[in-house]
Amino acid sequence: MNKSEFLANLRAHLSVLPPEEQNELLEDYEAHFAFGLQSGRTEQEIVLELGDPAELAKEAIDNRFVPQEHVYWFGGAEPAAAPGAAIPPTGDYPNEAGVQRRSAFASVMVYIGLFFINLIAVPLLLSFWTVVVSFAVSAAAGILSPLLLGLEYLWHGDIFKAKIFASIAYVGLGILLIVVTRYAYKGMLWLSIAYLRWNVRIAKGDQQA
C-alpha cells in the first residue's frame, strides 16, 4: 500500500465525520508522510509504521458522535434523519457538525488539564528548539572559521599551522552540522505543528461529545 491508497482508505473509514474534521486528520498524516520521505523512508515503510487505516479511523472517531447509518455531509447542513427514526430531545440534539457539545464544567476541566500539560510540554519544546538553534550557530561558526583565521592573520601578521588544520576541521564539522540542523529543524517544525493542532482539537468543545 502506498501513500495515496493509505489516505484514500483512511478517508473512506472517516466518512462518518464532517469534511472539516476529515481534512484536519488527513493533513496530520500528510505531514507524517512528508517528514518520513524527507528522512529517507519509503511510502511503504511509513504505511507499515502507521498501521491499519481502519484501526486509525476507529481510534479517531472513538469519542465522537457517529451516526448509525452512513451520512453525506453538505457543508454546514444537518444530516437528514432516517425515515421512522426517533427525534432526540432538544437538549441532547447534536450540533450542525454532528457531535454533541461539551458541558461548561467539562470544558473548564479540559482547559485546566491542557494548562498543566502545557506547563511541561511547552518548555520542553522550547528547549528542543534551543538545541536546534545551537546546532545552527555552531555550523555557522565552523564554516566561518577560515574568515576568522584570516582576520587574525591581518591583525597579528602570523598564524600557527595548527590553527590552519583546526580551521579546516571546523569547516568539515560545520558542514556536517548543517545537515543535522536541517533534519532537526524539519522534525521540530512537524512536532510543534502536530502538538498545536492536538491542543486545538482537544480545546474545541464542539469537536467532542
The model's pLDDT over 144-173, given as tens digits with 9 standing for 90+, comes to: 887 877 776 677 766 666 777 787 888 888
Q: Do 125 and 191 contact (CB within 8 A), yes or no?
A: yes
- pLDDT tens digits for range 168-183: 888 888 899 899 999 9
- The per-residue DSSP string of 53-106 comes to HHHHHHHHTTTS---SS-----TTPPPPPPTTPPPPPGGG---TTSSPPPPHHH
Residue type (1 letter), 168: I
- Residue 160 neighbours by CB under 8 Å, 6+ apart: none
Convert 30-54 to b/e letters by CB count within 10 Å (16 or more is b): ebbbebbeeeeeebeebbeebeebe
Can you tell me which residue has the cell 481502519? 54
The pLDDT assigned to 134 comes to 92
Question: What is this structure's pTM?
Answer: 0.45
Nearest-10 Cα torsion for 165, 171, 175, 177 = 90
Residues of the chain with pLDDT under 70: 63-102, 152-153, 157-161, 205-209
The pLDDT assigned to 205 comes to 58
